[in-house]
């Protein structure tokens, strides 16, 4: 980047949009300087309740294989994904499935609480328990700082609660010992907290609605100045940056203009950000997460996708997750899970599509992002910890040999078996934390000589 261009960017006199545009301008400057190492790594942790059934995310081509002889590492690109994961087919070269890792050092049952990301035993049926260390998402946020270091968004609160909206503490993320991280359960408030700093803030839902609807109007002059100052090669990224906001605004504007029509033909009116429909609120939180990542407001997002008290009524499901986990309802548990999992895959695919549309370095933003789909109850409604399935979308900055791969580690107790502690150690090592082992070791495996307690070396690039 020329000194003149750099000076022009630094000397821009911006107004209301200065805060929102500052992270974006920093990304433009990094790219123009050709400093690929300065491009941040980004992480999105999508946490569902009631477990992820390993068989439900296993391609048919790999079912029935013998995994007892060590790590099974196969090409995922050449096989078909399960039907419930079909929305991710266009991104299969950046999809990875990791199975077989155990987490018996964590609590089982309806939730492992902080154990899922902190690798230790804590909590009870209704109590999240003590926080003894920073969870992996918070540690990755520390390593990849941004205006909002860690963004927590939630649809529901603790595993067995009916908590809904506002600031919530679902008991899954922490910045350090005794420092649980908050999550925002109201998309409209999250919008104001993330983007409302560009304008004068007020109070009440009506003010928030106005701020949301007018945000881009306040930014027009700043966007014009930035567009004139940045290289033409960056206009595509600027367009994608603006599209993230415009998509939110267009939905908001359309629903607002249709208020009378909707009210006359529906039981009640609410726009996406104030909707009480669970699936709509999920879409809103994913929209906000993608916009915040693209804007550079955060590099780490954890989304509490649901809890066992939640019912997916919009999907035609007549049981809450807890009932499904106990085989209640008019369909089989497998049928219910496939319907819900396809919906989740659509949310993941929509986010992936938005990130892929943003040019970055020699590729796009998805190349430098890891979207990780996991459950706080490991492998089942009443999690056993014998296996902790992970579904991953994105290149993760090219730090690990994951995209386009299916990995299956030996079963718990077998030779070569590994744990979620080894997994998080690997990810942290790859991102700049040289810790020898993250979390508590599985003492049963250790006593039997099966514990490795270290990184998964085969995944390092």
Instruction: Tell me, yes or no, whether 268 lies in a domain.
Output: yes
Are 319 and 393 in the same domain? yes
Does residue 328 share a domain with residue 198? no
CATH number of 54's domain: 3.40.720
Q: Does one domain contain both 265 and 306?
A: no
In a domain, 94, yes or no: yes
pTM of the prediction? 0.82
pLDDT for 64 equals 87
| CA-CA-CA-CA torsion sign (167, 172, 176, 179) | positive
The per-residue pLDDT for 66 is 80
**Is 139 domain-assigned?**
yes
* CA angle (60 as vertex; 55, 65 as ends), nearest 5: 80
Regarding whether 420 and 355 lie in a shared domain, the answer is yes
> Do 311 and 356 share a domain, yes or no?
yes
pLDDT of residue 376: 97
Structural domains of the chain, count: 2
Alpha helices in 270-419 (DSSP H): 278-295, 321-325, 333-356
pLDDT tens, N- to C-terminus, the chain (461 residues): 444 545 555 555 555 555 556 666 666 666 656 555 668 899 999 999 999 999 999 999 999 888 777 999 999 999 999 999 999 999 999 999 999 999 999 999 999 999 999 999 999 988 999 999 999 999 999 999 988 899 999 999 999 888 889 999 999 999 999 999 999 999 988 887 777 544 333 445 455 555 555 555 555 556 656 766 677 767 666 666 666 556 555 545 644 553 443 233 322 323 777 888 999 999 989 988 998 898 888 899 999 999 999 999 999 999 999 999 999 999 999 999 999 999 999 999 999 999 999 888 889 999 999 999 999 999 999 999 999 999 999 999 999 999 999 999 999 999 999 999 999 999 999 999 999 999 999 999 999 999 899 999 999 99
Same domain, 383 and 415: yes
Looking at residue 362, its pLDDT comes to: 86
Structural domain of 254: 1-38+189-273
- CA dist 114 and 129 (Å) reads 8
* Predicted pLDDT at 261: 35
Q: Do 182 and 246 belong together in one domain?
A: no
DSSP 115-158: HHHH-S----SS------S--HHHHHHHHS--SSS-EEEESS-S
Q: How far apart are CA 344 and CA 168, in angstroms?
A: 22
Please tell me the predicted confidence (pLDDT) of residue 147.
Answer: 82
φ/ψ (deg, to 5) at 364:
-140, 175
| Residue 318 belongs to some domain of the structure | yes
DSSP SS3 for 364:
strand
Residue 293 falls inside a structural domain: no
Q: What are phi and psi of 245, to 5 degrees?
A: -75, -40
SS3 433: coil
Same domain for 135 and 263?
Answer: no
Rounded to 10°, the helix 235-257/205-229 angle is 150
Residue 233 in any domain: the answer is: yes
User: Are residues 440 and 334 part of one domain?
Assistant: yes
Are 32 and 62 in the same domain? no
User: Is the residue at 398 inside a domain?
Assistant: yes
Residue identified by tokens 């995944």 is: 459
Is 406 among the domain residues? yes
Same domain, 33 and 170: no
Q: Are residue 10 and residue 94 in the same domain, yes or no?
A: no
């Amino acid at each position: 980047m020329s000194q003149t261009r750099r000076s022009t960017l630094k000397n821009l006199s911006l107004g209301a949009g200065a805060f929102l545009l500052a992270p974006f301008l920093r990304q433009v400057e990094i790219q123009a300087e050709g400093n690929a190492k300065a491009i941040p790594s980004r992480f999105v942790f999508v946490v569902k309740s009631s477990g992820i059934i390993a068989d439900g995310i296993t391609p048919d081509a790999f079912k029935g294989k013998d995994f007892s002889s060590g790590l099974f590492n196969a090409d995922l690109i050449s096989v078909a994904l399960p039907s419930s994961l079909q929305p991710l087919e266009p991104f299969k070269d950046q999809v990875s499935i990791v199975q077989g890792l155990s987490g018996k050092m964590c609590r089982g049952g309806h939730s492992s609480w902080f154990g899922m990301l902190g690798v230790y035993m804590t909590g009870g049926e209704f109590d999240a328990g003590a926080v003894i260390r920073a969870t992996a998402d918070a540690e990755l946020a520390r390593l990849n700082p941004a205006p909002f270091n860690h963004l927590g968004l939630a649809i529901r609160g603790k595993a067995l609660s009916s908590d809904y909206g506002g600031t919530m503490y679902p008991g899954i993320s922490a910045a350090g010992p005794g420092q649980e991280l908050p999550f925002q359960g109201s998309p409209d408030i999250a919008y104001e907290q993330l983007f409302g700093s560009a304008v004068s803030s007020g109070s009440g839902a009506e003010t928030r609605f106005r701020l949301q609807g007018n945000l881009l109007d306040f930014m027009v002059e700043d966007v014009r100045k930035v567009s004139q100052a940045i290289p033409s090669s960056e206009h595509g990224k600027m367009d994608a940056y603006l599209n993230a906001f415009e998509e939110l605004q267009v939905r908001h504007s359309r629903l607002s203009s249709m208020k009378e029509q909707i009210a006359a033909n529906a039981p009640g009116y609410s726009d996406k950000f104030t909707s009480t429909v669970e699936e709509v609120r999920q879409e809103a939180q994913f929209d906000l997460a993608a916009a915040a990542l693209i804007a550079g407001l955060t590099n780490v997002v954890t989304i509490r996708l649901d809890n066992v008290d939640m019912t997916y009524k919009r999907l035609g499901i007549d049981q809450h997750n807890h009932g499904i986990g106990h085989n209640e309802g008019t369909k089989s548990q497998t049928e219910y899970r496939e319907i819900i999992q396809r919906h989740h895959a659509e949310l993941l695919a929509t986010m992936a599509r938005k990130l892929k549309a943003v040019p970055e370095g020699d590729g796009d933003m998805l190349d430098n992002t890891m979207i990780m789909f996991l459950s706080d109850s490991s492998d089942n409604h009443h999690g056993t910890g014998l296996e902790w399935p992970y579904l991953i979308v994105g290149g993760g900055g090219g730090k690990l040999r994951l995209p386009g791969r299916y990995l299956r580690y030996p079963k718990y107790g077998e030779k070569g078996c590994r744990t979620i502690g080894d997994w998080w150690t690997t990810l942290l090592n790859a991102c700049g934390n040289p810790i020898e082992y993250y979390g508590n070791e599985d003492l049963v495996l250790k006593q039997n000589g099966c514990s490795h307690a270290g990184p998964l070396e085969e995944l390092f690039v």
